[in-house]
């Protein structure tokens, strides 16, 4: 008797509860349904988000490149341009990267440095080429910078460091020349987040292997540069901005282990020597 009364009471409770539960579930479904239906529309296209982003990046790339173009001399020597271009083209071809997207510039400066600017501008200082013992070291640094470009690290860093509003005001000419100069300097002389650097290193190793370039020589380069005894320490901008070279060298070696294939140089030894000779002149 007691049990029956309990069941009756329980059934009544269920009956009362049923309505709000069903209505609640319908409401939740309605919300997710609306959301799902709305995701079927390509809002990025409707609001031209990508177009605006691309335009901003393009304009920023031009602005920053202007800064370096004014302060440094671009090397136009055909030997230098062609040799660097061969390395970049080979890396792009092996990794299915759009070569036309990259704008490579070699600047005459003693600093051992290379960096990426927005819109695919890749700046290499002559000091880096002259201090690379072999072309694989140079290819490694180039791959690392291409990885930053391909993984959109440059714009991410800019947005994080100076904010989207300042970036947009730069492109519309509402920002002073000094701000643009300072930001360009920041891009050339400071590292990305540790995680982004590691991501770029790992990607660089993939690029190198695909292009049949030995990544261990890139790791050796980092080892070498982490050695404070090295004669050109004072010029090691690329290293001072990329901390923990030893650690980086170690995980590069670790990652490239077991991936050994047949490596072959991109440039002939003769071309590599000629490139260095042309830069020394």
Using CB under 8 A as the criterion, which residues of the chain lie in contact with another protein when the complex forms? 16-17, 19-20, 23-24, 26-27, 31, 34-35, 38-39, 41-44, 47, 49, 156, 160, 164
Shortest distance, CB of residue 20 to another protein, whole angstroms?
4
The residues facing 218 across adjacent strands are: none
Which CB atom, from 159 or from 277, has the smaller least distance to another protein? Answer: 159
Shortest distance, CB of residue 61 to another protein, whole angstroms?
18
Residue 124 Ramachandran class (φ > 0 left, ψ -120 to 50 alpha, else beta): beta
Task: Kindly state the tokens that stand for 273.
Answer: 């020597």
Shortest distance, CB of residue 55 to another protein, whole angstroms?
15
CA distance 123 to 144: 12
Terminal Cα-to-Cα distance of the chain (whole angstroms)? 107
Which CB atom, from 39 or from 228, has the smaller least distance to another protein? Answer: 39
Which CB atom, from 22 or from 277, has the smaller least distance to another protein? Answer: 22
The residues facing 14 across adjacent strands are: none
Shortest distance, CB of residue 169 to another protein, whole angstroms?
16
CA distance 97 to 207: 10
Which CB atom, from 160 or from 259, has the smaller least distance to another protein? Answer: 160
Spacing of C-alpha 142 from chain mean position: 11
Per DSSP, the three-state class of 11 is: helix
Nearest to 158 by CA among 197, 116, 199, 123: 116
Shortest distance, CB of residue 142 to another protein, whole angstroms?
24
Shortest distance, CB of residue 196 to another protein, whole angstroms?
9
Which CB atom, from 94 or from 151, has the smaller least distance to another protein? Answer: 151
| Pairing of β 73-74 and β 114-117 | unpaired
Alpha helical stretches, state H, 227-264:
237-240, 245-256
Which CB atom, from 26 or from 277, has the smaller least distance to another protein? Answer: 26
* Eight-state DSSP code of residue 151: T
């Amino acid at each position: 008797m007691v049990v029956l009364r309990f069941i009756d009471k329980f059934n009544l409770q269920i009956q009362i509860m049923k309505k709000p539960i069903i209505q609640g579930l319908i409401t939740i479904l309605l919300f997710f349904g609306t959301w799902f239906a709305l995701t079927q529309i390509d809002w990025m296209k409707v609001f031209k988000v990508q177009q605006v982003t691309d335009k901003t990046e393009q304009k920023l790339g031009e602005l920053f490149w202007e800064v370096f173009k004014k302060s440094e001399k671009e090397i136009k020597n055909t030997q230098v341009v062609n040799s660097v271009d061969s390395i970049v083209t080979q890396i792009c071809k092996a990794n299915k990267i759009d070569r036309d997207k990259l704008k490579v510039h070699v600047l005459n400066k003693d600093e051992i440095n290379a960096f990426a600017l927005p819109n695919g501008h890749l700046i290499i200082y002559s000091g880096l080429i002259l201090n690379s013992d072999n072309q694989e070291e140079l290819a490694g640094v180039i791959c690392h910078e291409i990885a930053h470009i391909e993984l959109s690290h440059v714009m991410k860093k800019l947005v994080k460091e100076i904010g989207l509003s300042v970036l947009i005001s730069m492109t519309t000419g509402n920002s002073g020349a000094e701000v643009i100069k300072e930001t360009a300097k920041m891009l050339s002389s400071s590292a990305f987040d540790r995680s982004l650097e590691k991501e770029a290193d790992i990607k660089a190793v993939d690029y190198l292997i695909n292009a049949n370039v030995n990544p261990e020589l890139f790791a050796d380069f980092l080892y070498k540069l982490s050695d404070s005894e090295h004669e050109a320490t004072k010029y090691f901008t690329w290293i001072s901005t990329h901390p923990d070279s030893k650690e980086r060298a170690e995980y590069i070696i670790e990652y490239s282990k077991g991936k050994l294939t047949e490596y072959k140089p991109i440039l002939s030894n003769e071309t590599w020597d000629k490139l260095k000779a042309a830069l020394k002149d």
